Amino acid sequence: MLKIFMSFLLTMSLSIIIMILCIMISKKSIIDREKMSPFECGFDPKSSSRMPFSSQFFLIAVLFLIFDIEIVIILPMIFTLKTSSMMNWFMTSSTFIIILLLGLYHEWKNGILEWAK
């Protein structure tokens, strides 16, 4: 019981110390016009540098990351082919690929993959 209490006390004290340090370090500086303006060789910018980006671009980027991670999951299946039975390997890999294809169909059907509307 004493070990649990000491570890809890140590964890809480470290958390409080880190929070106090972060509060002390992260003092906001005075925001002025020169610090907030983008650097363009000393001239005033011609357009706003704070333009919002397209949410469609964000969705495409998230989909790319998801499919990229899925490819990383698929690649070790090649190495497990030698060590597992063929039927188990085939069922597992086909289930995974069918789930991927169903997700792709769902995204395509909802129009997420269309860039210009």
The pLDDT value given to residue 117: 60
48: region left, alpha or beta (phi > 0 left; psi from -120 to 50 alpha): beta
Q: Which residue ranges in the chain fall short of pLDDT 70? A: 27-51, 53, 115-117
The pLDDT value given to residue 56: 75
* The length of the chain, given as a count of residues: 117
94 closest CA partner among 102, 82, 105? 102
> Which of helix, strand or coil describes residue 13?
helix
The pLDDT value given to residue 107: 82
The pLDDT value given to residue 12: 93
Which H or E run includes 2? helix 2-25
The pLDDT value given to residue 47: 65
